[in-house]
Amino acid sequence: MLGVIGGPVGIAIGSIAGALLGGLFGGVAGGIAGATLGEQIDDKVLDNYQCLACGYNFSVNR
């Protein structure tokens, strides 16, 4: 008799917990990937340096 009551409750709690943990881990993975991609774009594409005297933006040729 207890299984009849506990089964649906367990399914509901398990589903909510799974969604929360999936969202948390997905957010962390996306944040790390975005930070890595942003750093690569900053280093390779965008102007990286600004002259403090005149404000000119430039990048270093590697």
DSSP string, 1-62: -HHHHHHHHHHHHHHHHHHHHHHHHHHHHHHHHHHHHHHHHHHHTS--EE-TTT--EE----
Token duo for residue 25: 């881990």
The answer on pLDDT for 62 being more than 70 is no
Domain span at 37: 2-58
pLDDT at 41 over 70: yes
Identify which of 61, 59, 40, 41 has the alpha carbon closest to the alpha carbon of residue 49.
59
Single-letter residue type at 34: G
Counting the structural domains of the chain, the total is 1
To the nearest whole percent, how much of the chain has pLDDT over 70? 95
pLDDT top residue among 50 and 62: 50
Residue 58: the pLDDT is 82
Whole-prediction pTM: 0.60
